Each structure stands twice: as C-alpha cells, then as structure tokens.
Amino acid sequence: MAQPYIIGITGGSGSGKTTFINQLKERFRPEEVCFVSQDDYYLPREEQRMDKQGVRNFDLPESIEKSDLIRDLKLLLEGKTVRRREYVFNNENATPQIRIFQPAPILIVEGIFVFHFEEIRHMLDLKVFLHAKENLKVIRRIKRDQVERNYPLEDVLYRYEHHVLPTFEKYIQPYMEEADVIINNNKHFNQGLEVMSGFVCQALRNLRNVPRGEEMEMSVGSTVESGKDG
C-alpha cells in the first residue's frame, strides 16, 4: 500500500475551514479520504491559559494537545485506526461523540495551527490556505460561537479582538506565503471546492496505480479566486 498523501488546510478563524471540509467530505467515502480536525485536540477547558482579564484563551498553540495530534497522524500513516473523543467547547447542550479515524489513501488535516506546528507542516504534501476579509471572519465567528459554542456576544467580540486576531497575525498569516494553494472565501468557495475535489480524485487514481513519490503533478503557488469580490 502506498504512503498516504497528506493535505493540510488552514486559515484564520471564520475563514470557512469547517464548512469547506464538511462539503469536501460529502464527496468522498471514508475509505478514500480520512479527515482529521485540530479542534478535537484542545486541552480540557480547565487547563487552558487565562489572559490578564481571566478569560481562557483557546487561540494559542499551547491550547492544543500537539503531541496527541502528531501521534494520531503518525498512527494513521502506519495504517492504524484512531479513536478520539469529540471536543464540544462550552456547549452544554452537545454530547461528545467518539470519533473514529480510519486510515485512507488521502489524509486531510485541518486547523489554525497545522502550518505553525513544524513537525506537522513537514508531513504535508500539499498546503491549502483559506482566506477571507477580516470583517467577514468576525461575522462568521459571531454566528458560530453563539450557536455552536453557546458563547454570549460580548464574550465573542472580546475573544476576537484580544485572542483571535493577534493569533492570526502571529501564528497563521505568516504561513500564507508557504501555501501551495490559496482559496479566497469572501463570498463563497465553490470554485475552490471544485478544484480541491478534482485534485483529490486525481490523487486517488494516481495512488492506486503509481509508486509513491511519482504520482503528483500539480501547479502549486496558485490562488483560487472563488470568493473574490468583483
């Protein structure tokens, strides 16, 4: 069996990573593509670092159980199944599930720090960056955190100003230049989704027929303007 082809997807909070991943996931069977989210590797809430105002900061590299994430990615590369308890943040209405990650020819890992974590970055065969304007990311973050994570509006805005934005500028944006593909998601990412789907389909065909290391030919350093304002 060929070594799995690893794709890393990152972008700022509110750039549309989760929606993009969910729609991409609908196009492939679990035995074809394994999706791993950094969100399932947060440290327990009580272990998260607090800022000067006593607010827990989930937007630091130290908020992630990096060693667990790296370990599980290596296990998947070895063809082993991984089980991980879902992280539900502050939502008392959500019941955490046990996620089961099955090894597959294509492994996609997404999260805000997957480029920043050096060991993971060096694992990646393809790096994809989802980008959106700052005002759009704020709106999306408000909608997500109020509905999915049960955070009050004042808390969401505080976290965005003091945690999310500084983290983007320090730990995420600097790696944008290293991305092989940039997908702009200011309005939608339809074209970017089609490009990624087509690439994954071709990668699957190549992995089934060509020895590892000889299978990929892709134009990198490209930007997909699927959500660009006119």
Kindly report which listed range (30-44, 110-124, 182-196) carries the lowest average pLDDT score: 182-196
| pLDDT above 50 (res 217) | no
Residue 150 backbone class (left: φ over 0; alpha: ψ -120 to 50; beta: rest): left
pLDDT tier, 229 (very low <50, low <70, confident <90, very high otherwise)? very low
Query: What one-letter code names the amino acid at 125?
Result: D
DSSP letter for 103, please. Answer: P
**What is the distance between the alpha carbons of residues 50 and 186, in angstroms, rounded to a whole number?**
32
The pLDDT mean for the chain works out to 86
Residue 216 pLDDT: 44
Kindly report which listed range (13-17, 29-33, 119-123, 126-130) carries the lowest average pLDDT score: 13-17
Residue 66 pLDDT: 97
Residue 138 pLDDT: 80
CATH of the domain spanning 5-227:
3.40.50.300
- Per domain, the residue ranges of the chain are 5-227
| pLDDT above 60 (res 224) | no
108 Cβ contact partners less than 8 Å away, ≥ 6 residues apart: 6, 7, 8, 9, 21, 24, 33, 34, 35, 36
- Angle at which helix 190-209 crosses helix 17-25, to 10 degrees, equals 50
pTM comes to 0.84
pLDDT digits (tens, 9 = 90+) for 75-97: 999 999 999 988 876 566 667 78
| pLDDT above 50 (res 218) | no
Name the residue with tokens 């549309």: 16
Residue 90 pLDDT: 59
Six-digit token string for 64: 């992630």
| pLDDT above 50 (res 220) | no
**What is the distance between the alpha carbons of residues 50 and 53, in angstroms, rounded to a whole number?**
8
Pairing of strands 82-85, 98-101: antiparallel
pLDDT digits (tens, 9 = 90+) for 153-201: 888 889 889 999 999 999 999 999 999 999 988 778 888 999 999 999 9
- Determine the average pLDDT of the residues in 10-34: 92
